Chains A and B, each alone.
Chain A
Amino acid sequence: MAILGSACLLLALGVCAYGIGASLYGVRRGRPEWSESGRRAVYALAGVLTVAFAVLEIAFLRNDFTFNTVADTSSRTTPAFYRAAAVWSSQEGSLLLWAWLMSMWSSLVLFLTRRRMRDVAAYATAILLGFGGFFVSLMVFYANPFVTTTPAPAEGAGLDPLLRFPTMMIHPPMLYSGYTLCIIPFAFGMGALLARRVDAEWIRAIRRFSFAAWLFLGIGIMLGASWSYSELGWGGYWGWDAVENASLMPWLTGTAFLHSLMIQEKRGMLKVWNASLVLATGTLAIMGTFLVRSGILDSIHAFGGQTLGVPFVILIGVMIAGSVYLVVTRRDMLRSEHRLDSLLSRESVFLANNIVLVGLCFVIFWGTYFPLISEALTGKEASVGPPWFDRYTVPLALVLVLLSGIGPVIAWRRATLANARRNFLAPLIAAVASVPVLLAAGVPGDWKALAMFACAAFALVCVIQEFYRGARARRAMANESPPAALVTLVKRNRRRYGGYVVHIGIAVLFIGVAASSSFQRTIEPTLSVGQSSKVGAYMVRYVKPTATVSPANDAAHTGSTLSLGAVLDVTKNGRHVATLYPSEGFYASDEPSQGSVGSLIGGQPVSHVAMDAGLTRNVWTAIAPDVETPQLKRIVEIGNRTIPFSSPEDGLIALAVLARSYLQHPPPAEFHLIVSPLVMWIWIGGLIVFGGGLIAIWPAPSALRRRAGAFARARTRARGRRDRSGDTAQGLAGA
């Protein structure tokens, strides 16, 4: 099997080389059959990499530990669900996933554009295959997922317990889909510049893929935040970590592009800006991939001890140099067809929104890469922390939410005073009124949170007003019921109203972020059984300890050999609110020095968070049980002395004794208790954003089908009228 996988990689490399040559020869020499052959090479690449990926996936599912990557990141005790996901937990496997997803998305875009812009598509094909060849080369020469070792170890190291979380199955594929989809607009943008066809055609061709990149990257970011909140045991969802930032940067420039491309489509403006944004988004996507793999920055997520930095630096250098060269040499073709008519216009608001988004991206870029910048300028490495990021991102986020309300309602070209009064009076009243109302309702006077609530209220009323007016107009025209009018309104202009739904989601999401970050209450008490601690308005009582032994009994289904936890009773003003069961899972290690019993629980301990989630607040709890008491250590020592490594079942019996001792004499345990208001609205906002994204990206019925439908309906109506008039005539005649 490993030979088949390795052969697929070599074949993929050959396919990439051939496809690049064929595409470039075809477009330069005017031989479309060669360009066509280059396009088919992308399909072939997708096929070959699908086989390679299937080989690796099967090796994981079959526990084939002759594969080094399987032995390093999986084990027999890893649940099957997580074994399937372990493929992309290693450097090698994630490179294969990257290349495979890129080949699949590239095949789709080239299939859909097979009859359009043949010259642009030929250049794009060569560039996409260039990226494919780069990633396949990394696997062939640096990090081959099909390297085997004989004899195979009897057991693997197992998937890191932190990754045994349901969303980890889909977080990496979503994020990588986002990154790889960012490459498609980059390739077509470069293709358009190379072919000197910089009209709106190439933008229309890749618009849906840019949206898909934005959507997938956003889903990946949200799933990562959810994993961090629910699994990492610190109760936060964003920490300004270098790798988190790396995924946010292309999302921000992608968002800017999705707005500014509308100006190019409608008015032929911002062509240089759009080309630059597309090229920057592609480059930032590759930089994000580089940052995780180079070990150049300290991050909780970075792959350690790898040597992929130099190839990535060369690739990024080529991308930046090529982008700058093409934009500068094609600047005459990229001149705007119109100029801004007024600062009070939709074009200006979109431009302001672009500047804020790119400004945010610049702030995050500077903070993320500051250790390198500082070392280059001063010779000393230094870094900035979350307070520095917050200082700049909070005001920019406020402006962004405000603009997300103004943009959809302000007029194109030039807004009049009457237009402004009509569109902004109600939102302004809502924004201004929200502050005293919230203060009167007992919300603490944190200016940043209150400013965000006011901006979000403004944006929500702006957008909801647009839906109301549109539905009212449809009702007047088509005499439909309010829900039917709303649905038809959205169906008739999915892109526009899908975008508005996204704006609603963003406002809701920022309400959740502002409330949960400003008004969160957190304590870390050490409690004995029967003791209580107050967090915010809630009283949390440690009722009794819990313990389970053996992977089969792990309540969290993560394969832990021992799980120690607590039953917590949560009350508010003396009334029962929830019973929570936080625990900590202990996993086996591969370190024989820990002894036959000690190694059964000597791996990575992981918190299994328990929370009572609600629309107004989350009560979040985690436990760190003390397993270092003399009594428990003695049980492990006796087990290590008396039980051989060859009898893991007896080791589990020793752990059962340890668990019983823990239940009978529970030592004080450390708890982490958090009450976060409105945190649920972050996830609800995220869902609304992606729901809106799906509406916007969903293909509209073709104009032909719409026309045919309209014709059929008109005939039916006409026949109905004839029939009714006939009935009336017959009735009259009968009378």
Chain B
Amino acid sequence: MNPARKRTVRLTLALTAAVVLAGALIYTSFSAASPALTPSQLIHQARPGISYQLTGTVAPGSVRREGSTLDFSVEDRTGGSAVPVAYTGEVPNPFKEGREVIVTVQKQGGAYVGEPNSLITKCPSKYTVAPPAGAKQSF
């Protein structure tokens, strides 16, 4: 085989392998992904047996611990709909009422059960605090 033809064959094989691998990557990412929903979306769309990524804020006054289960409600960032979650597993340090969280849940009957160790919270250091009302700001 002449060198030019050899290079073309090699290039074609390499590109084919790359396309196949990229195709597998793309296919598996869609099949393995969990839809990310807000509480109001989850209430309308959740089906039993399917995992969803629930994102929102921890509702004030909703956090209770019973044995190894942590019960809390997640509400829309803008307030309104709230979803009760029963969660077991690691609770990140920043978890707190009013804080933004992401947790993978499944609908079981009328309740939502959190997947163990799936709870993450946004780092609170990165939130800016609004200045007190009436304070004068200058640049």
Partners in one complex: yes
Whole-angstrom distance between the alpha carbons of A132 and B6 in the complex?
Answer: 48
Central interface residue in B96, B104, B127, by most chain A CB within 10 Å:
B127
Contact B139 A6 (CB under 8 A): yes
Is A301 an interface residue, CB under 8 A from the partner?
yes
Would you list which residues of chain A between 334 and 392 have a CB under 8 Å from chain B? 339, 359, 362-363, 366-367, 370-371, 374, 378, 380-385, 387-388, 391-392
Central interface residue in A2, A147, A298, by most chain B CB within 10 Å:
A298
B contact residues around A301 at 8 Å (CB): 122-123, 126
B contact residues around A159 at 8 Å (CB): 125
Is A68 an interface residue, CB under 8 A from the partner?
yes
Question: Known: A162-B94, A382-B34. Contact between A388 and B29, CB under 8 A?
Answer: yes
- A523 CB → nearest B CB, Å: 11
A contact residues around B129 at 8 Å (CB): 71-72, 157
Contact B35 A381 (CB under 8 A): yes
Contact A298 B55 (CB under 8 A): yes
Question: Known: A233-B92, A374-B30, A391-B28. Contact between A382 and B126, CB under 8 A?
Answer: no
Question: Known: A151-B135, A604-B94. Contact between A300 and B122, CB under 8 A?
Answer: yes
Question: Known: A68-B131, A388-B28. Contact between A380 and B138, CB under 8 A?
Answer: no
Is A91 an interface residue, CB under 8 A from the partner?
yes
- A701 CB → nearest B CB, Å: 43
Contact A68 B137 (CB under 8 A): yes
Would you list which residues of chain A between 54 and 92 have a CB under 8 Å from chain B? 68, 71-73, 89-91
For the complex, count residues of B whose C-beta is within 8 A of A: 47
A contact residues around B1 at 8 Å (CB): none
- B4 CB → nearest A CB, Å: 11
Whole-angstrom distance between the alpha carbons of A241 and B123 in the complex?
Answer: 12
Whole-angstrom distance between the alpha carbons of A504 and B96 in the complex?
Answer: 43
Whole-angstrom distance between the alpha carbons of A366 and B25 in the complex?
Answer: 9
Would you list which residues of chain B between 113 and 139 have a CB under 8 Å from chain A? 117-118, 120-129, 131-132, 135-139
Whole-angstrom distance between the alpha carbons of A587 and B65 in the complex?
Answer: 21
Whole-angstrom distance between the alpha carbons of A370 and B26 in the complex?
Answer: 10
User: In the complex, which of the residues A300, A362, A606 contacts B121, with contact meaning CB atoms closer than 8 Å?
Assistant: A300
Contact B125 A162 (CB under 8 A): yes
Would you list which residues of chain A between 374 and 424 have a CB under 8 Å from chain B? 374, 378, 380-385, 387-388, 391-392
Is B78 an interface residue, CB under 8 A from the partner?
no
Contact B132 A302 (CB under 8 A): no
Whole-angstrom distance between the alpha carbons of A298 and B93 in the complex?
Answer: 17
Contact B32 A300 (CB under 8 A): no
A contact residues around B65 at 8 Å (CB): 628
Central interface residue in B32, B68, B91, by most chain A CB within 10 Å:
B32
Question: Known: A383-B33, A628-B65. Contact between A148 and B126, CB under 8 A?
Answer: no
B contact residues around A378 at 8 Å (CB): 30
- The closest CB in chain A to the CB of B104 belongs to A385
- The closest CB in chain B to the CB of A299 belongs to B122
User: In the complex, which of the residues A157, A231, A303, A392 contacts B25, with contact meaning CB atoms closer than 8 Å?
Assistant: A392
Whole-angstrom distance between the alpha carbons of A298 and B36 in the complex?
Answer: 10
- The closest CB in chain B to the CB of A624 belongs to B91
B contact residues around A670 at 8 Å (CB): 68
Whole-angstrom distance between the alpha carbons of A148 and B131 in the complex?
Answer: 10
- A87 CB → nearest B CB, Å: 13
Contact B93 A233 (CB under 8 A): yes
- A584 CB → nearest B CB, Å: 9
- The closest CB in chain B to the CB of A168 belongs to B125
- B6 CB → nearest A CB, Å: 11
A contact residues around B33 at 8 Å (CB): 370, 374, 382-384, 388
Contact B139 A524 (CB under 8 A): no
User: In the complex, which of the residues B21, B35, B120, B138 contacts A382, with contact meaning CB atoms closer than 8 Å?
Assistant: B35
Whole-angstrom distance between the alpha carbons of A2 and B138 in the complex?
Answer: 9
Contact A383 B34 (CB under 8 A): yes
Question: Known: A298-B102, A382-B53, A383-B33. Contact between A149 and B25, CB under 8 A?
Answer: no
Is A605 an interface residue, CB under 8 A from the partner?
yes
Is A672 an interface residue, CB under 8 A from the partner?
yes
Central interface residue in B21, B28, B33, B90, by most chain A CB within 10 Å:
B33
- The closest CB in chain A to the CB of B125 belongs to A160
B contact residues around A146 at 8 Å (CB): 139
Central interface residue in B21, B25, B126, by most chain A CB within 10 Å:
B126
B contact residues around A384 at 8 Å (CB): 29, 32-34
- B79 CB → nearest A CB, Å: 15
Given contacts A147-B138, A302-B126, A304-B100, 16 further A-B contacts (CB under 8 A): A68-B131, A146-B139, A149-B136, A150-B135, A160-B124, A233-B92, A234-B92, A300-B122, A300-B123, A301-B123, A301-B126, A302-B123, A305-B127, A306-B128, A383-B53, A604-B124
18 contacts between A and B (CB under 8 A): A90-B125, A147-B139, A150-B135, A150-B138, A232-B92, A233-B93, A304-B100, A304-B127, A359-B21, A371-B36, A380-B35, A381-B35, A383-B53, A384-B29, A391-B28, A604-B124, A628-B65, A672-B90
What are the nearest 6 A-B pairs in CB distance?
A: A160-B125, A382-B33, A303-B126, A381-B36, A149-B135, A382-B35
Chain B positions near chain A (C-beta within 8 angstroms): 7, 21-22, 25-26, 28-30, 32-36, 53, 55, 65, 67-68, 89-94, 96, 100, 102, 104, 117-118, 120-129, 131-132, 135-139
Chain A positions near chain B (C-beta within 8 angstroms): 2, 6, 68, 71-73, 89-91, 144, 146-151, 153, 157, 159-160, 162-163, 231-235, 239, 241, 292, 298-306, 339, 359, 362-363, 366-367, 370-371, 374, 378, 380-385, 387-388, 391-392, 524, 526, 604-607, 624, 628, 670, 672
